[in-house]
Amino acid sequence: MSTAALPTPADLRITPRDRRFARDSLHERLWHGGSVEATAIYNALSTTFPKGEAFFVESVRRFRDGAPPKLTEEIKGFTTQEAIHSREHDAFNRRAVDAGYDLSKLEARVEQRLAVAGARPPIVNVAATMALEHFTAIIAHELLANPKHLEGADKDAAELWRWHACEEIEHKGVAYDTWLHATAHWSRWMRWKVKAKVMLYVTRNFLVDRTHGSLELMRQDGVTGLTAWVRLLSYLWVRPAMFRKIAGAWLKFFLPGFHPWNEDDRHLLRAYDNSAKDLPQPKRKVRRAA
């Protein structure tokens, strides 16, 4: 596949929305509707973002040389969006710490994974980024498409998650297109083999790490043992079942001809932007990444 025939919509513009969320107000410790397991999984996810998204940016930027002008522009938008996400999740995580959670074990696990990744070739890192960005995009789609996931959550916290989800959808093709650009000289079979292997590897780590991270946070709320497992797994797989709901979209990654924009879900972006137009807008123009 040549990079000239990418299915990323020709009129897509990646526009960073430089928002700040609830800097002055503390949210409740169990900000997600008073639910230990719901708060735990979102807090566990948030703990990965500041360093994880910096890693995504670094991995993609290594392959920007020689990219077509549209992809170069999109990489800039992606970099700026991820940098702002890191900033806001860093603030969100600090509020979790202020509410009494100890995130150190979760952070140590992220650092350990990133240290392993850092020892791998750059092409493997861009492949891991492409796989994790698909993961993020399908979670984001489900989060915006199905209001049940944030039902009962603190208003400001829910705003943060919706905003992040919107931008993840908007830039969902960037890592994938960068991967296609970086492997333009590879055979289709070789590409598929590497991307499938990497997706299976990152999925395993994602499920294991987020489950352990959530159980650790639930332990800090006094929920342990079998009860904790049952409550967490029901939340993730039975109701509202984020992981079960994204399973089909996850599988599509392995189909020949897959591209994140085979599913054009920009209606979710438009709906988000409409719903967020009354939020305070950034005072200054966003400085885009170089």
Query: Rule CB under 5 A: which residues touch Fe ion?
Result: 53, 82, 85, 168
CB of 134 to Fe ion, least distance (A): 10
What DSSP state is assigned to residue 287?
P
Residue among 37 and 53 whose Cβ is closer to Fe ion:
53
Question: Which residue is nearest to Fe ion, using beta carbons?
Answer: 85
Rg (CA), the chain: 19
CA distances to 31, 58, 196 from 53, in Å: 23, 9, 21
Q: Residue 168 or 177: which CB sits closer to Fe ion?
A: 168
Cα angle for residues 16, 177, 46 (degrees, 5° grid): 50
Smallest distance from Fe ion to CB 89, Å? 8
- Give 142 or 168: the residue with its C-beta nearer to Fe ion: 168
Cβ distance to Fe ion smaller for residue 140 or 232: 140
Residue type at 171 in one-letter notation: H
156 vs 221 by CB, closer to Fe ion = 156
Report the C-alpha gap between 111 and 105 in whole angstroms.
10
Burial class (CB in 10 A: 0-12, 13-18, 19+), 15: middle
- Smallest separation (angstroms) from Fe ion to the CB of 239: 26
What's the min distance (Å) between Cβ of 174 and Fe ion? 8
Residue 23 token pair: 């800097």
d(CA 217, CA 215): 5
Residue 2's nearest CA partner among 84, 76, 67, 91 is: 67
Instruction: State the nearest-atom distance from the C-beta of 56 to Fe ion, in Å.
Output: 6
Q: Are 171 and 42 in contact (CB under 8 A)?
A: no
288: which DSSP letter?
A: P
Residue with Cβ nearer Fe ion (13 or 185): 13
Q: For residue 213, which amino acid is it?
A: G
Q: Which two tokens stand for residue 5?
A: 């025939």
Give min distance, CB of 34 to Fe ion, in A.
27
Nearer to Fe ion, 213 or 260 (CB): 260
CA distances from 167 to 18, 46, 100, 139 (A): 11, 15, 29, 12
CA dist list (Å): 35 to 38, 174, 231 = 5, 35, 10
By beta-carbon proximity to Fe ion, the closer residue of 87 and 219 is 87
CB-CB contact of 251 with 138 (8 Å): no
Instruction: Tell me the closest approach of the beta carbon of residue 71 to Fe ion, in angstroms.
Output: 15
Q: Nearest approach, Cβ of 138 to Fe ion (angstroms)?
A: 12
